[in-house]
Each structure stands twice: as structure tokens, then as C-alpha cells.
Structure 1
Amino acid sequence: MNKFKIFTLGLMVATAAVQAQDLTEAKKAIDAEQFEKAKSLLKNIIKDNPKEGKASFLLGNVYLAQTVVDSAKLAYNSGLKAEDDANFNYIGLGQIDLNNKKVTEARSNFELAAKDMRRKDVEEFIYIGRAYLNAENPDCKSAITIINRALAIEPQNAEALLALGDAHYCDKNQNEAYKAYSSAYDADKTLLRAKMQMGVLLKGANSWEEAIKSYNEVIAVNPNYGPVYRELAETYYRWARNKPAKAGENMQKALTNYDKYMSLTDYSIHSRMRRADFLILIGDYKALETEANKMIELDKVNPRIYRYLGYAAYENGNVDVAIKSMNDFINNPDTKKIASDYMFLGLAKIKKGMAADQKSVDATAFNEGLGDIKKGIALDATMTDPISKEAKDLFGKRIFKEAALLFEFGANVKDSSNYLEDNLYFGLSAYYANVNADPKDMDLLKRGDAAFDRVLVAKPDYYEAFLYKARINSAMDNDAVMVTSYEKYLAAVNAKGAEEVSNPATKAKIIEAYNNMGASFANTDKAKAMEYFNKSLVLDPTNQYATESLKSLQQ
């Protein structure tokens, strides 16, 4: 009987050891972003040992990473019924609360998770910190506080140090983040994510070559560590955006590295969606369309695929498919909408309303599209790049009023990447839309005038803005501001020297300024008016407007 007891105990220890090993393998798969492998391992652990609560917690975390919230919630609630480590599942439920902006409920769940911790336990604190970081609206400082509680107990815990680095990175404290990542890697040389994150910091500082060098050091240790290729892809993408001279080459490297990342993770529907998101980021809509069609073969009901089809169809010129796909996605109550969803729907409607001669846009189609775009802006005011692109297309076709209304979105967002350009084009569009208009849209002209003021604040040496400001105020019959603006333009041009003044294009603008200033004083100060017209004739003795105006003033 005693021998039987010993054998049974030994079997239990062996089984526990296998399960612990499987849990370790699952954690490694999660870190490597091999989510389908991780899910398979965790489901097997739960099947073999329903008492294991931590496996349910980790499974829920994987589902949350894949934004499959219902499955995550099921996993956590199932894990709460387990006999071992059930408390971890309160952390997962707490993160769902954070995602739903239920902060009080989240903290209650975190307290339940930590309630029965032993004095030397730290893992719960680390995962609570991660929940604050992984929430849709991260709380960096709460994460730092709770992770430091773990480090107070176990100062050299590599996972805690890695989490602290992520928390400081979230809090935009690069120096503290680097210290924590370095300490984490020193504490555990197998923790490649810590070493990789040092490269991420360099990427964030726009040190592209140094970041790539850092990633290559990770690859030298383990060439099969998938996440490093994703970081390489994103680094090459950002380098391409910031250095146009090598944009083509670096965009190709970005895609090559992302494909390498995919090959080392999995080709599940969720992984393909991550790749689709990256294709949107780099603007490869032909590849996106191919990817979307492959996803349909894997999953004909996942509504998110319609988002990708809609984006790709719009960019590839098929507006009917774009409108249908985006409507199918947006009208599905189970989808989470983002700003670009409404943007692409609105832009597709505007493009659909373009007249056959490309000289006008149907008013109803434009207004419907504008309404959708406003819904997108309400979700993210900085999402202006695709709007600016369509606005430039309308501007090039001389459809100025509609172009102005689109440029205005980016013109009012200081953090927009197109802020300066959108303000300039908005002002120009507002002006050209009213040159021959009767009556003039005075409100649009005033907003255009304000746009030129913003241009001059953002770029004070762009003196051409004074010329445009003078023209728009002339259109509003605001002579005082017109004259002041022309004077500032003339002062800036003269400061450039004789070569600039003698440039034929510049000379024409100077004559324009003198003639308009002369006209503004014709009824109030004849001497000054004649002075400006004479200056105009010095530059162009045959100028008809100045000649006739002088004759009229001398009578």
C-alpha cells in the first residue's frame, strides 16, 4: 500500500512537471507571437487538467491580443472555476473592464487577483501591470506603480524589469525604459524581447540604422525569433516615410521583413489580418486586395475582411465595391469602427459622385461623403492623410469649393502631418472658389484668410502667404488688411535682393501689389495712389491698368 502511494505521488509530480513545461512552452509561443500554437497548447493543458486556472488566463490573453473579446471572457470565467491559480483570471476580466472604461470595476478585479497572494509572490503584480499597459487606453503610471511592487520583492525578476521598461516606454520616459530593458536582458539572456525593445527605443528616436543594427544583434542570437522581423519591417517603413530618397527600397525591405515575420508565426486569419493592417500602413493596396481575397477563402463570415476589401477597392479605383464593402462592415453591429472606416466610405461616395467630365461633383454625393468623413474625424481628428489626398485631386481638377471643405479638416489639426500644406491649399481653394462667385461665400473666405495666418505662424519665412492673404482680403473688399499684406510681401521680396525682384514671375506679383494698393487709395489719397501706379510703371512701362489709372487720377 505504501509503495502504491509513493508511485501515485510520483506520477502526480511528473504530471505537474509536464504541465508546467507545457505552460512554459505556451508562454514562449505567446512571446514569439505564435498565437495559434499558443492556443493549441493551452487548450490541451485545460483539457488534460481542468484544475489549471493559469492556462485559461493565458488563453484569454491570447484571445484579447486577437481582439476576440467574447472568447477571452469565456476563458477567464472558465478559469475562475479552476482549483489552481484561478485568481489570475480576475486580471483578464479587469483588462476587459479597462477596455470598457470601467476603471473602478477593473481595480476591484485586480484586488481580487492579489487578495490571497503569498508574501514573496510577484507574478500577479506583473500581469496587473501588463493589463494596464495592454488596455485600449493604457494607464502607464498605474502600470509603473504596480510593477515596482513586484520589483520591491524580487529586484532581479527579468519579466518584471521587461514590463517596467514597457511601462516607462508607454510613459515616454526613454532613459528609464532603456535602463529597465538592459537590466532585464542582463538578468535573463534568453529574454530576447528585452534586447529587441532597445532597438524599438532607437526606432522611436528616428535612429533607423542604429535600430536595425540592434535588431540584427537579436537575429544573431536567434534568427527564428519572429517579432524582431516585425520591428524591422516597421522601422524600414518609418525610414521610408522620413527619407523619400530611399523610400522605394526601404518599403520593399519593410514588406520582405513582414513576410518573414509571418513565416515564423502563423498564417491564421488573425495573422493575415495583422499583415493586412501593415499593408494599409505602407499603402500597398494591390497586395491588400490579394490578401483580403485569401482571407475570404479562410473565413467567409469574418466582417473585418470587408474593411480590407473596402479600403483596397477604393484605392484601386473600384468605388462601387468600396461603398458596398464599407457599408457591409459599418452596418454590422458586431464590428468595432475606427476613423478610417468612415473616411474610406465617405471618400468613395465623393469619388462616385464625380461627373463624367471630371469638372464637378454631384452635391448630394459630396454632402453624404462629407457626413461620413465627419464621423471619422469625430473618432480621430488626426486621420487626415486620405482626405488631403482626395482634396488635392479635386484641387487639380479645379473643383475648388469641395477641395476647400476637405482641406479644412487637416488645416485645423496642428498635429496633422499635412498641417502646413493643408492650410496653404485650404486658403488657396477658398480664394479660387470665390474668384468668379456671385455672391461670394464670405465665411469661407474668412476661414481661408485665417488659414494663411496659420501658415505664417508655422513657417514665418514663407512670404508668398502674404501675397495670398492680400488676394483673399481683396476678394472680401478688406482693403486695410490687403494693403498691409502686400506691404509685408514687398518687404520680404526686396529683402531677397535684386535677383529675386527681377525674376519675371516675381515682377508680375510686385506689379499686382502696386496696382491693387494704388486702387485702394484712389478715392482717399490720390498722391499715394499715383505713387504706387508710378512704381508699377517703372517695372512695366506698358502696363495698361496703371497707365489708365494714372490718367484718371490726373484729370
Structure 2
Amino acid sequence: MKMMKKAINIGLALSFVVSGAFAQSLKDAKVAINQEQYEKAKVILKNLVQTDAKEGDNYFYLGEVYLITDYPDSAKTVFAQGDAADTKNTINKVGLGTIELLNGNASGAQTLFDEATAKLKKKDYEELLAVGKAYLKGANPDYNKALEYLLKAKATDQKDAEIDLAIGNAYFGMGNNSNAYTAYRDAISLDNTLLNAKIQLAVISKEAYAFPEASADLQAIVAENPNFAPTYRELAETYYLWSRRVTTVEEYDAKLKEALSYYKKYMDLTDYSLDSRMRYADFLILAKDYETLEVQANEMAKIDQANPRILRYLGYSAYENGNYQESKKAITDFMAKVEPERLIARDYLFLGLADIRLASDTVNKTVDTTLLNDAVANMQKAVKADSSIAEDLNEIGMEFFQARQYGPAARIFEIATLNPESKNYLYDYFYMGYALYFDYATRVNDEVKPSKTLLEKADVAFGKVTELAPTTDAAYLFRARANRLLDDEANPKGLFVPYYQEFIDVVKGKGDAAITQNKVALVEAYNVNGAYYSLSGDYEKAREQFRGALEIDPSSEYAKQALTNLEQPQT
């Protein structure tokens, strides 16, 4: 995958000097990186590159910061400068190999890694550690290759806790939490001040959905180290994930509020640079705090109006604030300015949502089908790229359904059913069928008749509901109604009969309370089926159905008259 061409003028960057930075060392820069204070680390490292231009490690760590903050082209330039400035130090070859690895050139990366590690002395391990960490980076980490180098670094018998931390991260990425736990504990035993290892132990609990335990462990770290920023970021992520597993709105709101407060604390302890604001914005999107997102997006625009990623945040927040045309423009402009591989699922989601809003005229109850089809295509891309998005669509679909915009509602619910693991999967299928049925039924008398394809899809949707939950009586009822409209009015084939009968059987099987609750629909089912049997000449079955209607409602005039007619001689 090609990396985003996001670079800055390195010559100008290296000429930037901040007073007071001269006395700071590489150790100070590493502390800042560990604290995720990346702007501070950049300032220190830029100054070190100027004042100690022949020290390769200064370049390497500056390049690493550029990678972390998503400036790969700048990182590559710095690594190359470091490799040229300090030819005896091969660490920057690891940096250049990392760039190749992230660009998908595994063989080119391997060549550089081999050059970097070819002449190491028995106790040398920094290059091995750096290569191991390189394989942990990017969208597709190679955990086995990472471990290959990290275990070699461990075999040098150096007492550097960072090696065990990286080994733990590799095992954790592989899903081997037992070995990850051991490695993190080994790291802590070597260096009890290595807070990232302690945090990772809590992360293991978080990933196992043991949120109370993870929170307690992280709070304990905060109590002893209140200014270590990454702990608050992990607390924010823990409470966000916790909020998605609770069962009440009150719990959800409380957990989400805590998540946002912890991320705000994280920001206060790091910096409010453009890169940090972008990470904050990404979290605000997850937490659906679009009011704060709009504030942050506008602040980012003041810092750098040319950065296309700001358009993403402006587009998202504009949509949530009801400015759908502005949202569409911002997201469309963003998509035009970045490489396709830089797009994420929510970019397609929000573009689709903006289009679906613009396509629907809620006043005149009309829909722009071309715009609706564009919207659906983008929302499908979103769910296929990130299936968890399907869960968010239920609320949007219900909004359209309640506004009686049944066509758009049906399309949204249909997209949501692309994820069988969604907690709303059953309900999405039900409301998909429900919306399709009403989309047809409410327009059946229009001059231009709706397509019966709507009813066919409704039939399939209700069938899926009864497959997943066989006692869902409403699904049988509406499947019967859909098939009644599907049937040939002049010469009915009784497509609806088995579904009305299943509705009757399911409701009666639930007892008297369910029968009372469904009284009107039961009478409908008996009478419609009775009428069909009468037309088809099966008079005994017809009588059974009408008697069933009168058992439920003795005042049913239709059933009374039908039975009277059936008592007459049939010719």
C-alpha cells in the first residue's frame, strides 16, 4: 500500500530552533516520545540534529516521531540524512527499511534490515530491537518476523526492559495473551518504572471485556503517576468500549462522559498540536461528540487550512449539525485530495448519510432515486470496510421509518443486515420488511404503481426474522399481508394462507394475554383465510376459519354473514 505523500520542508524544519531546547538530550526526547508529547520530542530532536549532526540516533528518533505522527516522507528524508551523517551507525538503515516495509516492499525492507544487522557485535541489540518493532508497525504487522528479531535481541542477554515490552506487544498482537502477560511482567521486573508495560497488562483485561478490572489497574497507575499521559488515553478507550457493552442509556451516557473526560486529560498532558487534535478528533468521532468535534475542526483549520484531513472532521460535524450540503461538499473535497487507500469506512458512511438526507424531501414525501442509489452504494462500502458500522444504522433507519420515509428506511435497514454479528441484526431484518411493506402499501393507489419487487423483498425479510426468532408473531402477520398484496387479486392462489395460519398458531401458543393483545389481527387472519377457502370451494375449512374468528370476536359481522352464506346450499 502506498503511503500518503505527507511531507514538510525538512531544511526549514531543521532550521527551527526553540530557545531553552539546547540543554535537552536524546534521553529527554525519548521521555517525551514515551509520554506521547510528540511536538515536544520533535523540537528537542530537531535541535539535536543541528547541534550534534554526526550522531545517527538523533536522526533515527526524529524519523520515528515523523512516522508516529503520519509524516512518512519526512521520516524517510531524515533517515537518509542520518544514514549519510553517521556511516558507522546502521540504525537509520532500519528506519529506511521500515519505510519500505510500510510501502509494501518486503524484500527491499529485508535487504536494508540485513545491512543494518550484518556486522553486529555479540552484545549489540539496538538494531535488532528496532527491526522487531518495525515489523509491529503499519496496518498489517508481521508478528512472527517481529518475534524473530526481538528474541535475537533478548538472546544478547541485555537487561533492557524495552525488549520484553516489544516481545509482549508481538505476542499480544498474535492473540497469545498468556505469553504477552509473561513478557510484560518480565519487563516490569527489569524496570518497575516502565509504565507502558503496566498499562499493557490492563489492556489485556480490556480486550477480554474485563472493563472493571482494566479500569482499576489503570486508576492505580494514575494514582502513582498522575502526569503520565498514555494512561489517560487507555482509560478513555476502556470507558468508551465499556459504554458499548452496557444495557441502559444512563450507563452508556455515564461511561461515555468518563471516556471523554479522560481523553481531555490526555490532551492537556500532551499538546494541542495539529496532530494531537487529529487524534482527539478521531476519538470524538467514536464517542459521537460532534459538538466538540466541530470546535476542534475549526481550531485545526486555523492552524493549517491546507491539510485535507480537516475536511473530514468538518464534513462529519456538519452532517451531525444538520448541514447536509456542507457535509457532502467537505467530504467530497477530502476524498478528492487524498489517495483512495487513505479513506476509511466512516468517510463513505457520512457521504452516504449526507446524500440520503439530501435525497429525501420529507415535506413533499418524495425521493431523488439517483441520489438515494449513490447514498446506498457508499453506505454499503462503509459496512463492508467496517462491519461494526452496521450497528449505527439502526437508529438512522428508525428515524426515517418514523418520518414515514419508508423507501430510504428500507434501504438503510438492508445495508445494516450485511453484518450478521450486529446486535440489531434481527430488528434490522424486521424493520427492513416492515418498511418495504409500507413503502408499497402506502403507494398502492398512486397513479404510478410501486413495484411488487418491494413485496417480494419484504417476504424474504420476514422469512429471515421467523427463521431467527420463530415466535415473532408480527413477522408472520406482515408476511401474510405482503403475500396478500402479492397474490393475484382476480384469481388468488392463497400465497398468504400459510403465514396467516402460522400467525394464528404462534399467538394462540402464547396464551390468553397474547390472544387479547392480537384480537383484531387474529380476526383478520381467520376471515381472510376463510374467504380464500370459500372461493376455492373448501367450505369445511372456510367454516372452521369463520368459527375461529367468532371465537375471538363474537361480534364480527363479516364472519357471521360468511357462515350464514355457507349454510346455504352451495352450487
- Establish whether TM, by shorter chain, passes 0.5: yes
The one of 415, 428, 431 equivalent to 2:434 is 428
Change in Cα spacing, 1:532 to 1:369, as seen in structure 2 (3 Å) is: same
For 1:376, the aligned partner's letter is A
- Aligned partner of 1:316 in structure 2 is 321
Structure 2 vs 1, CA of residues 85 and 404 (structure 1 numbering), >3 Å: closer, same or farther?
farther
Distance in 1 of aligned mates of 2:152 and 2:467: 47
User: Percent sequence identity over matched residues?
Assistant: 39
Task: Spell out, residue by residue over 1:264-317, the C-alpha distance to the aligned partner (whole angstroms, 9 max, x if none).
Answer: 111101001111111111111111111111111111211111111110010011
Q: Deviations over 1:154-191 (max 9, x none)?
A: 38642122112222222223333222222221221011
Q: Which amino acid aligns with 1:111?
A: D
Alpha-carbon contact 1:130-1:163 (below 8 Å) kept: yes
- 1:512 is matched with 524
Tell me how far apart the structure 2 counterparts of residues 409 and 488 of structure 1 sit (CA, whole Å): 28
Range that drifts further, 85-94 or 23-32: 85-94
- What residue number does 1:501 align with? 515
Aligned partners of 2:265, 2:366: CA distance in 1, in Å? 46
Q: How does 1:9-28 map to 2 (within 5 A)?
A: 22-28=25-31
SS of 1:134's equivalent?
A: coil
Give 1:469's match in structure 2, choosing from 471, 474, 479. Answer: 479
Give me the TM-score of the superposition, normalised by structure 1.
Answer: 0.88
Could you tell me which of 223, 229, 233 is aligned with 1:230? 233
- Structure-2 change in CA distance of 1:454 and 1:116 (3 Å): farther
Mapping of 1:132-211 within 5 angstroms? Answer: 132-154=135-157, 157-211=160-214
**The residue matched to 2:244 in structure 1 has which SS?**
helix
Q: Decide whether the 8 Å contact of 2:308 with 2:338 is kept in 1.
A: no
Q: TM-score, normalised by structure 2?
A: 0.86
Question: Which residue, 516, 521, 540 being the options, matches 1:527?
Answer: 540
Secondary structure at the aligned position of 2:111 is classed as helix
* SS across alignment from 2:86: coil
Structure 1 contact 52–85 (Cα < 8 Å) conserved: no
Q: Is the 8 Å Cα contact of residues 439 and 454 (structure 2) preserved in structure 1? A: no
> Quick one: distance in 2 between partners of 1:88 and 1:481?
74
Contact 1:39-1:62 at 8 Å conserved across structures: yes
Q: Distance in 1 between matches of 2:165 and 2:232?
A: 19
CA RMSD in angstroms, aligned pairs only: 2.9
Give me the whole-angstrom Cα distance separating, in 2, the residues matched to 1:266 and 1:73: 25
Question: Which letter does structure 2 place at the counterpart of 1:472?
Answer: A
The aligned residue for residue 8 of structure 2 is: none
1:75: Cα distance to partner? 1.8
Q: Write the letter of the residue equivalent to 1:517.
A: N
Give the alignment of 1:405-444 within 5 angstroms: 405-437=411-443, 441-444=451-454
Name structure 1 gaps, 5 residues minimum: 1-17
How many correspondences in the alignment? 536
In the TM superposition, residue 255 of structure 1 has moved relative to its aligned partner by: 1.5
| Aligned match of 1:71 | 74
> How far, CA to CA, are the matches of 2:309 and 2:113 in structure 1?
32
Structure 2 distance, partners of 1:364, 1:46, is 56
Equivalent residue, structure 2, for 1:213: 216
Q: For 1:277, give the aligned amino acid.
A: D
Which one of the candidate residues 277, 280, 284 is aligned to 1:275? 280
Indicate the structure whose relative CO is greater, using CA pairs within 8 Å and at least 6 residues apart. 2
- 1:541 maps to which of 537, 545, 554: 554
- Say if 2:373 is the partner of 1:360: no
Once residues 248 and 93 of structure 1 are traced to their aligned partners in structure 2, the CA distance between those partners, rounded to angstroms, is 45
Identify the residue that residue 252 of structure 1 maps to in structure 2.
257
Question: CA offset at residue 34 of structure 1?
Answer: 0.7
| 1:512 Cα offset (Å) | 3.1
Displacement of 1:204: 1.7
Q: 1:101 aligns with which of 104, 107, 111?
A: 104
Q: 1:91 aligns with which of 80, 91, 94?
A: 94
